[in-house]
Amino acid sequence: MPVNTKNRILPSEITPPEVYFNRRLFMQAGLVAGAGLALPAAADAIPAAHRRLGELRPSPFSTDEAPNTFEEISTYNNFYEFGTGKSDPVRLSHRFNPRPWSVRVDGECDKGGDITLEDLLAPHPLEERIYRLRCVEAWSMVVPWVGFPLGDLLKRFEPNSRAKYVAFETVYRPEEMPGQRARIIDWPYVEGLRMDEAMHPLTILAVGIYGVELPNQNGAPLRLVVPWKYGFKSIKSIVRISFVEEEPPTSWSLSAPREYGFYANVNPEVDHPRWSQARERRIGAGFFAGRQPTLMFNGYAEDVASLYAGMDLQRQF
């Protein structure tokens, strides 16, 4: 996919993350219905407009770290389709309509086609997984995602032996997504995973946070979550999934290959060209108190390190 550089804002011109403004924390109490997990910012902290997703089953993959509040998760976001500022998505996503929704599945598979969101979700029990989220700008959160394993969905379409990668594409609606009117990158946003990464049980398709449907600013109605990779790999508002034989193009590696690689594994030993990745700032913990060492593979090394055996992670970043 060719890159159009005319009038584009370069990644080097985008300001690194600002100091997160102090916000009053919501009351911490209660349980998320059906999850069986004690979580802060339960029902009292979630606006009534967000529809609950019903009974959720607990997940053995959750971290035991305390999640960020619903307010923090839903007001401090990277979603350039709505703007480059961290508060732009919550301010500018109210016109986005995630219903009705369908996803096209195609490429190297035997049962491709268009599928509605309802049919896509129907066979998959939803579960809550408390995952760390680590962004390339060196900030992090702990998010109680609601979703199901991506691999369970992919199997339904019977990928063939030529399917070595999975490519994803975000919806393109500049009339509803004002950030798409700016030439930050070439739209629509595209991402990809190697097949073994896509099939790994930690990789999920998320449809909610804190037991409610995904807010628009968090990637409604359907997004990828790959917890051992930097956040830009977890593509939002997905409308297309393709099984492909060759490594697919990805938006940020096309735009700035020196800064953003295909794999995007969290690695404290590989710095971004403009800042260190050795430490991260936990949102909500204060600018200085929230600084902590970055964990290899975002703390999921025991589960995923074997996927990259024999690779040079300094070069294949």
Q: At 105, which amino acid appears?
A: V
Residue 22's pLDDT band (cuts 50, 70, 90): very low
* Domains along the chain with CATH numbers: 11-308 (3.90.420.10)
Tens of pLDDT, residues 127-137: 999 999 999 99
Which of 199, 204, 179, 203 lies closest to 189 in space, CA to CA? 179
Query: Which pLDDT belongs to residue 177?
Result: 98
Question: Would the pLDDT of 17 be above 70?
Answer: no
Give a three-class secondary structure readout of the chain: CCCCCCCCCCHHHCCCCCCCCCCCCCCCCCECCCCCCECCCCHHHCCCCCCECCCCEECCCCCCCCCCCHHHHHHCCCCHHHCCCCCHHHHHCCCCCCCCCEEEEEECECCCEEEEHHHHHCCCCCEEEEEEEECCCCEEEEEEEEEEEHHHHHHHCCECCCCCEEEEEECCCCCCCHHHHCCCCCCCCEEEEEHHHHHCCCCEEEEEECCEECCHHHCCCCEEECCCEEHHHCCCCEEEEEEECCCCCCHHHHHCCCCCCCCCECCCCCCECCECCCEEEECCCCCCCCEEECCHHHHCHHHHHHHHCCCCCCCCC
Tens of pLDDT, residues 70-96: 999 999 999 999 999 999 999 999 999
Query: Which pLDDT belongs to residue 285?
Result: 87
Average pLDDT over residues 139-159: 98
